[in-house]
Chains A and B, each alone.
Chain A
Amino acid sequence: MQLIIQNLNKTYSNGVQALKDVSLTINQGMFGLLGPNGAGKSSLMRTIATLQEPDSGQIQLGDTDVLKQKDEVRRVLGYLPQEFGVYPKVDAETLLNHLAVLKGITQSSERKEVVKALLQKTNLYDARKKNLGGYSGGMKQRFGIAQALLANPKLIIVDEPTAGLDPAERNRFLNLLSEIGENTIVILSTHIVDDVKELCSDMAIINKGEVLYKGSPQQALANIDGKIWEKRVPKAELEDYRTQYTIISEKLVGGTPVIHIMADTNPGNDFAAVQGDLEDVYFSHIFGQKPAVPVSTFPQTN
C-alpha cells in the first residue's frame, strides 16, 4: 500500500497559504516530514487524517480516495495530533478502553488485552488508574501514542510526537515506531532532525507550505557531501559573515560562533570542509541555497 499525494493546495481564510502544490509518494515504513514550526506539516497531516479539506489536489491511499472515502481511511488510521488535551476526570485505562470500542474493537476480551498491552508498551500501566488530569506532559504524550496504535492501524500519522518527551522516553518511542513501521505507513512530522536521521528511510523537507526536498536521508547527505564548510568566527565579525555568505547554520561552541556555509567549492577564507549531517541538509533547504542537484532529478519511486 502506498500513499500518494498530488498537487495539494490549501489557503486559510486569513490568507496564509499552508500547502503549495504538495506532491509526495509515501511507502510503507517510516516517513519523516521535517520542517520548522508553521511550515505546513500539521496542515498536511490533518489533511491526510481526514480532518481538513484541501482547496485542490488528490490523496490516494491504496485504492481509497482519502478526500472522499473518509470512513475507509479512518478504519486503518492511527493519528496523534500535535497538540491535544484529555478529559481530566477520566483515568487512562477507561479512556483507552473507550477509544478502543470506538475503533471497532468490540470484542471485550480482545479489547482488554490490547489496552493492557498498549499501556504496558507506553509504560503507563502503573498509572492506568490515575486521572488523566494528573498526567505530566510526557505521560499524556505517551497516552496519545497508545491510542494511535489501537486496532493495528495501517496508516499512522504522528505529529511532533517527541516534543515534550525526555530523552529516554523519546528513545523508547522511536523504537516503538520503528518496530511497527515495518509493514505500515508511518508518517512522522518533526522539527528535530535527529528523529528522522535515526528512523526514517524516506523523508521530505517542507517549509512555508512547499516541499523543498524529498528522498532518503542518505541521498540527502550524499547531495551535500563535500559542500559544507565550517568556520569559527569572532562574535564581532559575525555580522560581516552574514552579509557575505549565506549561512545555513550558526551555533555557539564554547561561546564562540561556529558557522556553516554551503558551497560546491572551497570558499577560502579559512573555511574548513566538514562532513555534513542531516541538520545541514535541513538548514540548507530552509535558509541556504538549493543543493546543486535539482529536486526533480531525484529518482521517482512510484
Chain B
Amino acid sequence: MLKEIIRFELDYRKKRPATYLYFGILFLLCFFAVTSKYVVIGGVAGGQIVENSPYNLAFMTVIMTFALTFIVSAIMGVPVLRDFEHHTDSMLFTTPVSKFAYLFGRFFGSFLVAVLVFCAVWMAFILGFAVGKYLPWEPSWAAKEILPFNFWHYIQPFLTLGITSIFIQSALYFAAGTLSRQTIVIYVQGIVLLVLYQIADTMLEDIDNKTLAALLDPFGFRAFQIYTEYWSPAEKNSQMVGLEGVLLWNRLIWVGFAGLVLAGTYWGFSFNVVRTGWRKAKAIVAEKATFRPESVKIPVVQQFLTTGSYLKMLQQQALFYSRMIVRDVPFLGIVIVGLINLIVGAFYFDKMYGTSSYPITANVLGLLNEFDLFFLIIAIFYSGELIWRERSVNFNLIMDALPVPDWVNLVAKFVGLFLIYLGLLLILIVVGMGVQAAHGYFNFELALYFKSLYSSTLFFLVAYTLLAFFVQIMANNKFVGYALMFVFFIVTFTIGAMGVQHPLFMFNSGSLGEYSDMNRYGHFVTRFSWMKLYWFTFVCILFSLSVVFAVRGSEAALRTRLRIGRLRLSRPLVTFALVTIVAFTGTGFYVYYNTNKLNTYQTKEEEEQWAVDYEKTLKKFEHLPQPKIVESNLKVELYPDTRDFTAEGFYWLKNKTEQPITDIHIQEDVPNDVRTDYLRFGSGEAKVKQQWEDYGYTIYQLSRPLAAGDSVRMDFKVNFTTNGFTASGGNTSVVQNGTFINNTYFPSIGYAEAAELGDDDLRRKHQLPEKDRMMEQTDPRGLSQSLFGDDADYIRFQMVVGTEPEQIAIAPGYLEKEWTDQDSLGNNRRYFRYQMDVPMVNFYSIVSARYEVKRDKWVGPDGKPVNLEIYYNKGHEYNLETMLASMKKSLDYFSKNFGPYQYRQLRIMEFPRYGSFAQSFANTVPFSEGIGFIQKISDPEKDLDMPYYVTAHEIGHQWWGHQVPEAGVKGNAMLSETQSQYSALMVMKHSFSPELMQKFLKYEMDKYLQGRAMERKKEQPLVLTAGQGYIHYNKGSVIMYGLQDYIGEDKVNAALRNFLADWQYPGPDSKQKRYPTSRDLLGYFKAQTPDSLQYIITDWFENITLYENKATEATYVKKGEKQYEVTLQFTAEKYVADSAGNEKPVPLATQWVDVGVYAKDKEGKDKLVYLKKHKVTAKDNSVKVTVAELPTKAGVDPINKLIDRHPDDNTKKVNEGSPTT
C-alpha cells in the first residue's frame, strides 16, 4: 500500500509543471553561479580557493539546499493539504488506505521528488564546470587552472549535507502542512527556520558560542562554516568536508528531531475530515427572538453617496482589513518570530572581542532594521492576501456590486495595511526602548526613533506594498503574483550585478544611511528625500494602473479589464495619474541631473576600467626620479554646512636625487573629485608638458631643471565642492559635523600605485600581470620610501584651518593661535593655526566638529608635561576616563621601556561612525564614534575594555610608525602594527587580569586562523606580512605575547629600545640611508633570545608554524597532605605550512612548552596551580608534577600561547590513578 501511495505521488508530480519549474530554477541558478559572475553562491571561491574545489562545491551545495527552502516547502507542505483543498479528503479517507500508508506514502513520495528536484544542483555544477570555458560569457575562472573533474566531489556533499537538509526541512514542512491544513503555516514555519539560522549567526559575535551556534542552525550551514573555519586554502582545495565533529552532531540532532516530528505528525494527524478543535467553541447566547419575522418592517433608510460617505466607507473598509490581519494567526506568528529575533540580537549588541556597545538609539535602530525582512514578508504576503481577500472566500461578487467607488476598494486595502505598519513600527519603538531599559540605558531619543522608522522604514513598506498590489492585480493569480515578486528580487539583484546600478533603476533606492550621533543623518537626507519622492511617484503611477486594472466582478481577461478600466478614468484619477507622471519624470530628471551632470557617475565596471586604463597609460612613470616634499604649509577653509573645502598654500619640493629633475608629475585626488584651481612652481615659469584629465595626472616641465639638492616651491589651490547629491550617497569624510580628511585629498607626486586593481582574478580578466601586494625587502626603491609613500621622508608642517564658528578644527602640531574673522560674504569664521616644531611624516589629518573637550595632563619621567585632550561629541562621555587612563598608562609604559614621547601634547578626536577605526597621526588620534566611545564594559572582570586597548594601540603608533616609520616593503606592518599591538598588550597585561588577557588572545588567535583560511593570494609568515591584517594584527599579538612569555618582557622591551635608539627617524637622510624592515627588528629580538630559544624566532616569525598539542591522559596520586602527584601524558606535533596552507610535519627537535595544572578556587572557578615550561623532544610525552591542591584539569600549553587549531584538546580532566612506581 505504502508503495502504491508513493508511486501515486511520483506519478502525480511527474505531471505537474511546477516540478519541472523548480528543477529549472535550481538548475539555472546553479549553472549561472558557476559559469558567470552575475550569480554568486557564497562567494568564497576565487584567488587561491579554486572554484571547483571540494570545499566550494560543498559550500554551494549547502547554500542551495537551504536558500531555496521555499521549493522544499512548496513540494512538502502540500501533499496532504492538497486533499483538503481539493476536497478530495472525504473520498480518500473513506478508502481502506491505512493512516500509516497514506501519511508516509505521501511523505516519502514527495521527499523523493524534492531530492530529485534538488539533484539539479550537482548536475548544474557538473555541467557548468564542464562547459563554462566555452560559453560566450566568461566565468571568473576562465583564465585559471581548475581542478580535474571528480564526480565524488559533487555528489558527496549532496549525499551527506544536501539530502539531510532536505529531509529535515521536508519533515518540518510536511508536519506543518499536514497538521495545520493551512498554507500560510507552512510559510511561517519556513520563517522560523530562517530565524533559527539567523540567531545562530548573531550568537557567533561571541566566540564562546560557536558550538551552540553550530548545533542550533537547522540547515547545518553554520555548522559547516564552523567545522571548516580554519581550513587553509590548500585544505579547501584538496579535502572533502566529511560528516564529523559539530557537523555530524548538527546533522544527527536535526535529523533526529525531524524523525520525531514525523512521528508526532503520525500521532497528531486525524484521519477525519472534520477535526475537533483544540478549544471548545464557546456557546454564544443571544437574546431570543420575541418577534415574528413576517411582522418586521424593513425601515426606509437614507443612502448617502457623497465624498464624505466615501471617506466613511474607506475608513470602514480599512479598519475592517486591519482587524482581519491583526487577528490572523500567521501574521501574529511572523511578528512574534521577528520580535524574538530582535530580542536575541539585543544580547549581542555591536560586539567587539565579546564586548558590547551601549544601546544608544543609533545602535538600537540598527538592531530594529533586522525586522525589515519580516516587514518585507508581511508587506508582500499580506498585499497578496488583501488583493485576494474577497475572492479567496468567494465574497467578491457581493462586494463588487456595492456602490463603493473603485478607488475606495484599493485605497482601503492600502490604508488597512498602512495602519498595520504604523502599529508595528510603534511596537518596534517600544521594543527598542525596552531593550535600552533592559540594558539600564534610559536616554530614550523618541524623536529619533520616529524620524527614522516613520520615514525610511515606512516608506520602504509603502513602496513594496504598492508594488505588490500592482503585481498581484496584473498577474491576477495570487501565487503567480508571489512568484513574480520573487522574480522581481532576482532580476533586481542580477541587473545590479550586470552593471545597472544607478539608483534610478534600483527599486526603492536612496537609503537614509547610518545614523551618527555626531552628523545625524547629515547630507543623506537630501538624496533620501529626492529618491523617495521619485519612487513614491513611481508607485503612485503603479497604483493608478492598479485602480484601472483591478478586477471587479467576474471578468479576468486583461482586454476586458482594460475596457472596463476606461470607464474608471474619472477626472480625479486622471488628474492624479498625470500629476504623478509629471512629478515622476521631473524628479527623475532632477536626480539624473544631480547624479550624472553635477557629479560623475560610474558603474563598478567603469571604475574597474578606469583603474585598468590608468595603469596601462601611466605605469611607465612609476619609478621616475621625483623631488620630495619637505614642507607643507596650507590654509584649509572648511565649509561643513555646504560640505566644501579649499586648500591653498605651498609645498617645498627638494630634489634628493643625484640628477637634475626637469619634469614634475602631479597626481590630483580623482576618486574624491578634488579640483585644482591653480598649481605653479617657483615663480610660475613651469609649463604643462602633458596632461591626462581623466586621471588627474599632469606633467609639469620646469623652465630650469631642479638641480640635485635644490628645492622648488609649489604653490597651489585645490577645492572640493559638493554639488547636489551623488548616486552612491556621497563622500562621508567632508560632512556637516565631523569632517575627517587627510592629505590624500591634496596633490601628490608621481604615479599612484594604490589606484591599481589589486585582485588577481580581476587583473587576469583585464590582461594585467598578477601582482604582489608589496615590494620585496631587498628592493632598494622600497627601502628608500616609508609606509607613508614616496612623496616625502619628513616634512616641516604648519596649517591654518578655518571652519564654522561652532566647530573646532584640529590638525597635527600645536595650536599657535585661534581667532575669528569674517569671510567676504560676511559669515563668521573660526580659525586655528597649528605648527609642528619637529619634523614629522607626511601624513596629516584635518578634523572639524562641534566638540566638547576633556583635558588632563601627564608628566613624563623627564618632568616634561604632556597635555592630554579628548575632543568628543556631547553625550559620548562614557569612556573618557578609561581613554585618559589608557593614555597615561601607555605614555608611562612606552616612555619608560622604549624611549621618550616626542611631542608635548596628545589628542584624541571623535569622528562619525562612517568608518570604524582609529588612526594615529602626529600627536593626534582620530577615533571613530562607532568604536571605543560607546563601548560598554558592563563587567570589568569579563568584558575586555576595548577603548582602553584601542587607545593604547594608537598611542603605540606614536613610537611605531611615527618615530620609526618603516620601509614600504613586505613585512612593514610587523614594525608598526605588530609592535603597537605588542605595546597595547603590555599596557593591558599590567592593567587586566590574566583571564581577560587570555580572552583577548583567544579572539586574536581565532581571527588569525579564520583570516588565513580566507586568504586569496598568499599567506606570509609574520616577517613578510603584506598588508594582511590577520597576520600583522592578530597573529602578531599572539606571537609577540608568546615571545615576551618565552624570553621575558624585559628582553623584548630591551630589543625594542635598542631598535628605536638605532633607527629613530630613519630614511635616506639618516645614518643607515634607508628605512628599516622587519628583518632589522628581528635581529634585535635574536640578540635578546637565549640560544635554547632561538628556534622560536624562526618558527614564529620566519615560518608559518602550527602546533598540534594534545593532552591524552591525566591522572593524579595523593602522596600526602597537600601533595598530589599529577602525571600528564600528551602529544606534541609541529607543522610548517606554505603560502597556500599545505602543511608538512617537522621534527620537534628541542622545544619548550607550558605544562599546567588546574585546581578549583573557593568560588569553584578554575585556577592554575602549576604552570611551567617543559622540554619536549618527541611526539609522545609524559610529565610528572607535584601540586599542593586537589588537581582538576591538566594540560599542555593550557592557556594557548602557541598557534593551535584545536585548543580545546590541550587540557584534560585529571582522574585519580593507581600509584605508579
User: Which residue numbers of A lie inside 8 Å of B, CB to CB?
Assistant: 13, 46, 49-53, 68, 70-71, 74-75, 77, 79-81, 83-89, 98-99, 101-107, 110-111, 113-114, 117-118, 120-123, 125-130, 134, 144, 147, 149, 151-152, 172, 175, 180
Contact = CB atoms under 8 A, between A and B. Distances in A.
A53 B301 contact: no
B398 interface: yes
Interface in B933-967: none
Contacts of B400: 50-51
Top 6 closest pairs, chain A to chain B, by CB: A51-B553, A85-B394, A74-B403, A81-B397, A79-B401, A85-B393
Determine the interface band of chain B, counting residues with CB < 8 A from chain A: 35 or more
A123 B294 CA distance: 9
Interface string B274-285: 000000010010
A105 B312 contact: no
Contacts of B567: 68, 70
Contacts of B327: 89
Contacts of A118: 298
A127 B286 contact: yes
A194 B507 CA distance: 61
Contact of B294 (A111, A117, A175): A175
A134 B304 CA distance: 33
B854 interface: no
B288 interface: yes
B563 A152 contact: no
Given A79-B401, A127-B286, A104 B303 contact: yes
Given A75-B305, A126-B289, A134-B281, A49 B401 contact: yes
A13 B293 contact: no
Given A71-B403, A106-B312, A53 B298 contact: no
Contact of B398 (A105, A130, A144): A144
Contacts of B293: 120-123, 172
Contact of A51 (B298, B401, B404): B401
23 contacts: A46-B554, A49-B553, A50-B401, A51-B400, A53-B564, A79-B398, A80-B398, A87-B395, A89-B324, A102-B399, A103-B303, A104-B304, A104-B313, A106-B304, A106-B309, A110-B301, A110-B302, A113-B301, A117-B297, A126-B286, A134-B281, A147-B398, A172-B294
B405 A84 contact: no
A101 B312 contact: yes
B297 A86 contact: no
A114 B301 contact: yes
Given A102-B317, A102-B402, A129-B284, A121 B296 contact: yes
Contact of B397 (A70, A79, A87, A89): A79
A122 B294 CA distance: 9
Contacts of A53: 555, 560, 563-564
A51 B301 contact: no
Nearest to B308: A106
Contact of A74 (B298, B394, B401): B401
Contacts of B281: 134
Contacts of B555: 51-53
Given A50-B553, A84-B398, A71 B289 contact: no
Contact of A129 (B286, B298, B405): B286
B401 A98 contact: no
Given A46-B397, A120-B291, A51 B552 contact: yes
A114 B288 contact: no
B291 A151 contact: no
B402 A103 contact: yes
B560 to A, nearest CB: 5
B660 to A, nearest CB: 89
Contacts of A88: 393
B299 A114 contact: yes
Given A74-B402, A79-B401, A84-B397, 12 more contacts: A51-B401, A51-B554, A52-B555, A84-B398, A87-B393, A88-B393, A89-B324, A101-B313, A102-B317, A103-B403, A106-B309, A121-B298
B1070 interface: no
Contacts of A106: 304, 308-309, 312
Contacts of A126: 286-289
B286 A120 contact: no
Given A46-B553, A51-B553, A53-B563, A98 B320 contact: yes
B51 to A, nearest CB: 49
A302 B800 CA distance: 99
A77 to B, nearest CB: 6
B1146 interface: no
Interface in B313-329: 313, 316-317, 320, 324, 327
A180 B298 CA distance: 10
B931 to A, nearest CB: 51
B548 to A, nearest CB: 14
Interface in B28-43: none
Given A13-B557, A147-B398, A128 B298 contact: no
A128 B402 CA distance: 22
B554 A104 contact: no
B302 A105 contact: yes
Interface string B375-409: 00000000000000000011101111111110000
A75 B296 CA distance: 24
Contacts of B1149: none
B300 interface: yes
Contacts of A68: 567
B286 A128 contact: yes
Interface in B322-375: 324, 327
Contacts of B403: 71, 74-75, 77, 102-104
Given A51-B401, A71-B403, A121-B293, A83 B302 contact: no
A104 B397 contact: no
A129 B284 CA distance: 7
A117 B305 contact: no
B284 A130 contact: yes
Contacts of B299: 110, 113-114, 117
A123 B296 CA distance: 10
Nearest to B570: A71
Contact of A77 (B317, B394, B401, B552): B401
A182 to B, nearest CB: 13
Nearest to A85: B394
B303 A105 contact: yes
A14 B387 CA distance: 26
A102 B284 contact: no
B270 to A, nearest CB: 19
Contact of A107 (B302, B305, B402): B302
Given A13-B557, A74-B403, A104-B309, A111 B301 contact: yes
Nearest to A43: B554
Contacts of B564: 53
Nearest to A146: B298
Nearest to B283: A130
A5 to B, nearest CB: 17
Interface string B684-713: 000000000000000000000000000000
A74 B554 CA distance: 15
Nearest to B292: A120
Contact of B303 (A75, A80, A83): A75
A139 B316 CA distance: 25
B393 A99 contact: no
Contact of B296 (A46, A83, A117, A134): A117
Contacts of A99: 398, 402
A68 B563 CA distance: 11
Given A129-B286, A175-B294, A102 B404 contact: yes
Contacts of A79: 397-398, 401
B401 to A, nearest CB: 4
A4 to B, nearest CB: 20
A125 B287 CA distance: 8
Interface in B740-761: none
Contacts of A113: 299, 301
Q: Which of A70, A86, A149, A152 has the largest count of B CB atoms less than 10 A from its CB? A: A70
